[in-house]
Amino acid sequence: MRSFLGTSVAKKIVMALAGLFLIIFLLVHLTINLFLLSDDPNPFNNAANFMAANPIIKAFELVLFAGFLIHITWGVILQIQNWLARPKKYIKHHSSQTSFFSKYMIYLGVIIFIFLIIHFVNFYFVKLGWVEGDPENFYDMAHKLFKIPVYSIIYLICFLFLAFHLHHAFQSAFQTIGLNHPKYTPTIKLIGTLYSIIVPLGFAIIPVIIYFFK
């Protein structure tokens, strides 16, 4: 196992698998969040409480943490190796044709990471009882938070950067695990582009609708 995780390619593959897992998780999370748009707090709170109570979901939560941890840790380690691989930089800036967002993945990741921290302070820490709030009524809490303009703006910006991250990440993960095929890769790229637009947009419309219409 140690030798498996030893090389850069192994780390990258594990990281890609963790990333794909996070991509699936985002879909589930978005589905639950959309209940926030209902005037009735119950569907959302029930979903949130179900998540908090169900032991299978509890176990899943650990896997989710591991997913983030692995993705972030390996991401940072690989990035540092990459920076060290070119100790002396070129003076004339790179002008090769490349996948644009791929050059900024680590910075986009750091922004997502900052968002995750805010997110944890808001919700998860309430659940654990570390921060004040009503763990039975996240619906109310989310609605209150989204009524604060600064909060909603930060939220929107973070999802914009998540969209950028995902735009490169989705197809990149397939390439990393070795799935590249002249026939299917264009479709994977298309799905990736759609995913990276639709999912972050889905998250982003929630605070906008709540702020203006609820």
Residues making contact with another protein (CB under 8 A): 4, 6-13, 78, 81-82, 84-99, 102-103, 105, 168, 171-172, 175-182
DSSP state, residue 177: T
Residue 66 identity (one-letter amino acid): A
Given ligand HEM, another protein, none, residue 14, with its beta carbon under 5 to 8 Å by kind, binds none
**Shortest gap between Cβ of 154 and another protein (angstroms)?**
27
Q: Enumerate the H helices of 55-94 as residue ranges.
A: 55-84
Of the listed pieces 46-54, 99-107, 134-142, 185-193, which binds ligand HEM according to CB under 6 A?
99-107
Per-residue string for binding with ligand HEM, 50-89, x by CB under 6 A?
---------------------xx--x---x----------
Given ligand HEM, another protein, none, residue 71, with its beta carbon under 5 to 8 Å by kind, binds ligand HEM
Q: Enumerate the H helices of the chain as residue ranges.
A: 2-6, 8-34, 41-53, 55-84, 105-119, 125-128, 138-146, 149-176, 185-213
Question: Strand, helix or coil at 178?
Answer: coil
Whether 167 and 192 have beta carbons less than 8 Å apart is answered as: yes
Residue the block writes with tokens 């900052």: 114
Report the residue number, 22 or 204, with the smaller CB distance to ligand HEM. Answer: 22
**Shortest gap between Cβ of 93 and another protein (angstroms)?**
5
Interface pick for ligand HEM out of 11, 19, 161, 206 (rule CB under 6 A) = 19
Burial of residue 211 (number of CB atoms within 10 Å: 0-12, 13-18, 19+): middle
Q: Is 180 in the site for ligand HEM (CB under 6 A)?
A: no
- 196 Cβ partners below 8 Å, 6+ apart? 163, 164, 166, 167, 169, 170
Question: Strand, helix or coil at 90?
Answer: coil
Interatomic CA distance for residues 195 and 125, integer angstroms: 29
Given ligand HEM, another protein, none, residue 7, with its beta carbon under 5 to 8 Å by kind, binds another protein
Of the listed pieces 45-53, 103-111, 143-151, 206-214, which binds ligand HEM according to CB under 6 A?
103-111
User: What is the chain's Cα-based Rg?
Assistant: 19
Binding residues for ligand HEM (CB under 6 A): 12, 15-16, 19-20, 22-23, 26, 71-72, 75, 79, 102, 105-106, 109-110, 112-113, 165, 168-169, 172-173, 176
